[in-house]
């Protein structure tokens, strides 16, 4: 899999994409992640990529030409399954979306900045718009890192125990059950006896019950309640 990320501030993506599961997946050759500086296509001595918006609204807008040229350069080199724009008014990112994107071969992620991008890019080049929540950040770099992380950890071989990802919250539309580790008792706080029983059937039943109970209590919207 290959993920190309276009950013005005590529330095923001260096650490999140270089460590832990994502970093190991890159080192194993499971995924290629390339971060591109949009200013490669900037204009003038300042490599300008933004300008004032028509209509007089406050704030700067990423210009159509540098974004177009960067995307077209990448598309000339290979076919892309998706050209994603990280935007607060996109579809809210979900585990199901991560599962779907993890099956793709090549993806471009465009990070918004300032007041956003010239809308003509969204109309003609973007295939999917994604939001990480109903709030506004300084740019799309952190959301892009979130999407990349969620996708990469699903790739076969990215996690040592691949069944671990299958039991994550939201994989079955529910929150995951509580988890515990050694010691079995600490400060008078005990691990539930069923988890010490060694009975897989009872443990699974308890986990299912806990998953539904936690979802109903913490995220009833997932149950349509």
CA 48 to chain centre: 28
Show the DSSP H helices in the chain as ranges.
20-27, 64-77, 95-101, 119-124, 141-152, 163-166, 200-218
Print pLDDT tens along the chain (225 aa): 999 999 999 999 999 999 999 999 999 999 999 999 999 999 999 999 999 999 988 889 999 999 999 999 999 999 999 999 999 999 999 999 999 999 999 999 999 998 999 999 999 999 999 999 999 999 999 999 999 999 999 999 999 765 566 556 677 789 999 999 999 999 999 999 999 999 999 999 999 999 999 999 999 999 987
Whole-structure pTM value: 0.89
For Cα atoms 205, 207, 209, give the angle at the middle one, nearest 5 degrees: 70
Q: Judge if 2-152 and 169-223 fold alike in CATH terms.
A: no
Q: How does DSSP classify residue 28?
A: T
Q: Distances from the Cα of 106 to the Cαs of 60, 74, 80, 82, 100, in angstroms?
A: 30, 10, 5, 7, 13
Residue boundaries of the structural domains of the chain: 2-152, 169-223
Specify the 3-state DSSP secondary structure of 117.
strand
Supply 38's token pair. 């949009």
Q: 169-223 belongs to which homologous superfamily?
A: tRNA(m1g37)methyltransferase, domain 2 (1.10.1270.20)
> Which residues, including other chains, have CB under 8 Å from residue 178's CB and lie 6 or more apart?
210, 214
Supply 197's token pair. 């029983």
Sign of the Cα pseudo-torsion (71, 74, 78, 84, in order): negative
CATH 3.40.50.150 fits domain 2-152: no
């Amino acid at each position: 899999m290959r993920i190309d990320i276009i950013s005005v501030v590529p330095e923001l993506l260096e650490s999140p994409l270089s460590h832990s599961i994502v970093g190991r997946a890159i080192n194993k050759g499971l995924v290629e992640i390339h971060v591109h500086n949009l200013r490669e296509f900037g204009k003038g001595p300042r490599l300008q990529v933004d300008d004032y918006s028509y209509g007089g609204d406050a704030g700067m807008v990423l210009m159509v030409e540098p974004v177009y040229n960067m995307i077209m350069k990448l598309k000339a080199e290979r076919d892309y399954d998706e050209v994603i724009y990280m935007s607060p008014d996109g579809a809210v990112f979900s585990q199901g979306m991560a599962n779907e994107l993890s099956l793709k071969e090549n993806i471009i992620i465009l990070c918004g900045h300032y007041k956003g991008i010239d809308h003509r890019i969204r109309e003609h080049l973007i295939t999917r718009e994604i939001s990480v929540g109903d709030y506004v950040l300084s740019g799309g770099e952190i959301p892009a890192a979130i999407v990349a992380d969620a996708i990469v950890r699903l790739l076969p071989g990215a996690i040592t125990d691949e069944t671990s990802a299958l039991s994550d919250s939201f994989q079955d539309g529910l929150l995951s059950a509580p988890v515990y580790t050694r010691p079995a008792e600490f400060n008078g706080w005990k691990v539930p006896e069923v988890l010490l029983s060694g009975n897989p059937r009872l443990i699974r039943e308890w986990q299912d019950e806990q998953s539904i109970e936690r979802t109903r209590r913490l995220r009833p919207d997932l149950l349509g309640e």
